[in-house]
Amino acid sequence: MLREHKPIHPCTWIQLKQLPMSSKGICVVPNNSFRRNFLASIGAHEFFKPQMWKAALTELVATATLMFTLTTSIIACLESHEVDPKLLVPFAVFIIAFLFLIVTVPLTGGHMSPVFTFIATLKGVVTLTRALIYVLAQCIGSILGFFILNCVMEPKLVETYSLGGCSVHGNGVNSGIKVQNALLLEFTCTFVVLFVGVTLAFDKKRSKDLGLPMVCLVVAGAMALAVFVSITVTGQAGYAGVGLNPARCLGAALLHEGSLWKGHWVFWFGPLLACTIYYALSINLPKEGLVWVDGEYDVFKLTIGSWRTAYDDTVISNGPEEGNPGFQVQVS
């Protein structure tokens, strides 16, 4: 028989008479399955883990330094005396993105953008709790990076390039592009980065086979490709190019304001929509590559074989035995 004791802890202690009195008994936990499962599903336990906060701090610092370095490099390219200076921008993006990725991927996953954090959450790579903290850290880091940039940059350059922020309509001098075109570009270019870079980065087997440097090269190359397409296809100087990073657009808009708030929602909605569509596609991607036997479907050999079959009066049957599926071709 069972004798129930008054619960002292969140669980109920039950003592078995058959067991020695020194036994601790059995702890029966109350049925709180929904609340417990919900907290576990969002990763609430990570809120109390120092490692998560260290990673978030790393994301903050990495995003701040990335914004400062990337923006100054892009403005330096545009201020150069080359015939077409905007063609230098993708190279700057590629080099800087690669350097930051290869440093931060082993530490935090190398997000530095709500786009990568959002798709990582959808794919189950990070918990919802970690994702929210990461995005907050990225936004604060972006604001910090642009604040430093705003303090040291020449005021004339700040006005000319709108602090290097994400602009759709231009700064009043240039016309920019239509909001719907900017949204389409933001969606398409972000999807390209996800399809080319993230597909490889989230594939454990291929990532291990290629190694970290090669994976970072592919992701950085996809980002540079997206930037190159966005700044060349429109032909409008007022359009600052694809954002790819909503936190970058937010930091510059908060500090510079003005035209950067016009169409700002595009730089959030476009990438998040691209993440959602990519996730729906990614769960339906083939698990294995194309498997084939050399020569099995060789068109030339099949054509010659069919011709010989007809010429030599070949016997075609359903197989050597009754009920055997498929066809067997016997050439005399």
pLDDT (tens digit, 9 = 90+) per residue, 297-307? 677 777 777 77
The per-residue pLDDT for range 170-212, each reduced to its tens digit, is 655 556 788 898 899 999 999 999 999 999 999 999 999 999 9
Q: What are phi and psi of 101, to 5 degrees?
A: -65, -45
> CA 41, CA 293: separation in Å to the nearest integer?
44
Q: 185 near 230, Cβ under 8 Å?
A: yes
pTM of the model: 0.79
Q: Which two tokens stand for residue 107?
A: 């530490």
What separation in angstroms does the CA of 276 have from each of 118, 192, 204? 9, 13, 21
Give the Cβ contact number of residue 308 at 10 Å.
Answer: 13
- What is the C-alpha end-to-end distance of the chain, expressed in Å? 85
Q: Which residue spans of the chain are classified as CATH 1.20.1080.10?
A: 46-282
Q: Which two tokens stand for residue 322?
A: 């009754």
DSSP three-state, residue 3? strand
What does the pLDDT read at residue 331?
45
Name the stretches of the chain with pLDDT < 50.
1-9, 13-14, 16, 18-22, 315-319, 326-332
* Topology of domain 46-282, CATH: Glycerol uptake facilitator protein (1.20.1080)
